[in-house]
Amino acid sequence: MNAIAETPPLRSVALPSSPDRWPADATAFLRGLAGPAWIRQPGRDRSRHRVVSTLLHGNEPSGTRAVLSWLRSGAVPAVDTSFFLGSIAAALEPPAFSHRVLFGHHDLNRCFLPPFDGGEGALAEEVLRRIRSVAPEALVDLHNTTGATPAYGVGPGRDRARLALTALFADRYVHSDLKLGALIEAVQDAVPSVVIECGRADDERADRVASDGLVRFLTAESLAPEALGADRKRIDDITVVGEPVRVCLQPGRALRYGEIPDGALPDADSDLTIDLAIDRHNFELVAPGTPIGWMRPDRPWPFVATRADGAEVSHELLKAEGARIEARRAFVPIMMTTDPEIAVQDCIFYA
């Protein structure tokens, strides 16, 4: 069995002598970085700073492609900008951009709150130190989802500064006070900041969301809501979803995706079978009685659903009707995934 590699320390990567010296290919770009990287680019206004974070998960490539496209363009940002690229080893593990986290390692985006244990914790602590040192006026953290979904922002408040940042990328925003150890939670009191979920990984539309929004973020002379010109209307029109519940699989339970005919039971080796096309419901109103999946009636309840205050509410959200799992009440799901590995490692969906 191969030994688990240590998480490399954060490296400062200098800009090349010419933008076209950056590799055109995203995987070649990451190989050249050789580990978690911090790239600083001077802007027209050297007195201010912005931060772009991406690749906190190795299977979320849109932000990497957007950052590389920007760096290769030779464009100069409005203000000094630092780019942080995190889970490079996971992204490069074959096949590229398919592993959220390396085997034996912690999820980097769950390590940004104390106690900062292990290699990922040390990396997260150093990233936070660098963010504090540059005192940015704004931060965006670019991600992908593993299910079909429109682009949206996520953050721990619903103030106009966060909505203004979201409007550069998307017209939906999720206000979440869940404490997961994410970067956005660690910086929430220090800098206006949002997560941008650009859409499904390897969807060209998600790549465009990341690239186009990043250009707007980097070139805007001011990110104040009143200074965004035509985007002001978009700020007022953003759909805000509040206080999601995190719906997870109970530890130790087996899950698969598929379809179960009426009257049939899931396989005996699976505690829960989730509808194979469940992600079609993302950002749609799910009515009471809508099927979510199937469970064997002789098995324990497979869900745990946690609110921001820690309350467990899975039975308020879902119910069993024989072998079928249905919505007990209406809700709007977010980030429903069809990836069983993500469903087990992280969560099945938010609602």
Pick the CATH number of 11-242 from 3.40.190.290, 3.40.50.720, 3.40.630.10, 1.10.3720.10: 3.40.630.10
Residues of the chain with CATH 3.40.630.10: 11-242
303 touches 271 (CB < 8 A): no
pTM value is 0.90
Token digits of residue 306: 């946690």
Q: How many CA atoms lie within 13 A of 334 on its CB side?
A: 22
- Residue found by looking up tokens 């990922």 in the block: 120
- Alpha carbon distance 328, 326 (integer Å): 6
- One-letter amino acid identity for 204? E
Query: Distance from CA of residue 197 to its chain's centroid?
Result: 5
- Rounded to the nearest 10 degrees, what angle do helices 62-73 and 204-219 cross at? 50
**Kind and range of the H or E element at 258?**
strand 255-258
**Mean pLDDT by 10-residue block, N- to C-terminus, for the chain (351 residues)?**
76 97 98 98 99 98 99 98 98 97 96 96 98 98 95 94 96 93 97 97 97 98 80 79 93 89 76 92 95 90 95 97 94 93 93 93
Token digits of residue 34: 């050789």
pLDDT at position 235: 85
pLDDT at position 233: 59
C-alpha distances in Å from residue 37, one per residue of 11, 99, 126, 266, 326: 5, 18, 11, 45, 44
pLDDT at position 259: 83
pLDDT at position 1: 40
